[in-house]
């Protein structure tokens, strides 16, 4: 028996934490102190009610109810940055959820997802700091919950989670970020452009993590990754990736040319 604290229990505690700054600190500590934890991959943990921990604001609404945001006014720029902050906050939660929820996976799986959680915490903190410079904070604008809803839908299957959250929903950020950077550039906000460059760089690695573990899990189950992907999108009612795709970023994130061709045909 080991006296080391259980990594997966610690990830669940971080996921339950409602305060964004405290959640970021806990997520970063998981990564920084990874070797100080016992993995205990076989431990079956019970899901507590009320996941994920989150602050009382922002108010969550249907995606269609979130107004369009233009960066060419101060309020619009803050609202668009707030949307990015909300995505990053949810991304911390989904990475922590992968660590605690899925048992009996190799140690590298848990190391990968604690690193992702720490990097998402950095992204959130950078965007929140910039929001502060504009006179706003996280929670000042309405937001939607699409990323977490798919996290909930795929709670029962690690393979579906890898397919439909990092390599589907998060991969959309690879396509959307460069046009968003151009908008901020034209709006005269170089700091937002710089932060988005950090996010895009790291998100390439996060999507690659999803791709690697999706293929690993497919291999474990004797499934063809390309043929099985549309089966999962249909089963879990996931949005189909729509072109135009950022081919360079997606190839860097370990999509194959065959996968990109299949996505083009699906779209």
What digits encode the pLDDT tens for the residues 87-100?
A: 999 999 999 999 99
Residue 240 structure tokens: 């189909």
Bin 240: left if φ > 0, else alpha if -120 < ψ < 50, else beta. beta
Measured CA to CA, the distance from residue 110 to residue 123 in angstroms comes to: 20
Q: Are 160 and 78 in contact (CB under 8 A)?
A: no
Q: Which of 152, 143, 167, 137 is nearest to 241 (CA)?
A: 167
What digits encode the pLDDT tens for the residues 204-214?
A: 999 999 999 99
The pLDDT score that the predictor gives to residue 267 is 61
Show the domains of the chain with their CATH numbers: 7-266 (1.20.1260)
Measured CA to CA, the distance from residue 117 to residue 72 in angstroms comes to: 31
Measured CA to CA, the distance from residue 109 to residue 97 in angstroms comes to: 12
**Region of poorest pLDDT, from 38-42, 220-224, 233-237:** 38-42
Res 260 pLDDT > 70? yes
pTM of the model: 0.95
Measured CA to CA, the distance from residue 6 to residue 100 in angstroms comes to: 10
Q: Are 58 and 86 in contact (CB under 8 A)?
A: yes
In which residue are the tokens 């993995």 written? 39
SS3 60: strand
The pLDDT score that the predictor gives to residue 1 is 44
24-40: string of b/e by CB count within 10 Å (b at 16+)? bebbbbbbeebeebbbb
């Amino acid at each position: 028996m080991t006296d080391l604290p259980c990594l997966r229990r610690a990830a669940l505690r971080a996921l339950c934490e409602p305060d964004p700054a405290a959640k970021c600190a806990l997520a970063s500590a998981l990564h920084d102190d990874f070797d100080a934890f016992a993995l205990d991959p076989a431990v079956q943990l019970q899901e507590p009610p009320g996941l994920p921990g989150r602050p009382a604001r922002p108010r969550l609404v249907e995606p269609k109810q979130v107004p369009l945001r233009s960066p060419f006014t101060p309020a619009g720029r803050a609202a668009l940055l707030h949307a990015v902050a909300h995505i990053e906050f949810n991304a911390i939660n989904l990475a922590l959820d992968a660590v605690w929820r899925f048992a009996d996976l190799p140690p590298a799986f848990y190391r990968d997802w604690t690193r992702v959680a720490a990097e998402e915490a950095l992204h959130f903190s950078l965007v929140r700091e910039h929001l502060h410079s504009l006179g706003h904070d996280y929670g000042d604008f309405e937001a939607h919950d699409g990323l977490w809803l798919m996290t909930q839908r795929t709670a029962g299957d690690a393979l579906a989670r890898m397919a439909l959250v990092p390599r589907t929903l998060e991969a959309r950020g690879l396509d959307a970020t460069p046009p968003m950077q151009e908008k901020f550039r034209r709006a005269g906000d170089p700091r937002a452009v710089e932060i988005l460059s950090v996010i895009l760089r790291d998100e390439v690695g996060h999507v690659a993590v999803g791709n690697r573990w999706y293929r690993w899990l497919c291999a474990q189950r004797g499934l063809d990754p390309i043929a099985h992907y549309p089966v999962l999108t249909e089963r879990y009612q996931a949005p189909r990736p729509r072109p135009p795709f950022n081919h360079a970023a997606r190839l860097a994130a370990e999509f194959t040319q065959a996968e990109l061709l299949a996505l083009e045909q699906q779209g």
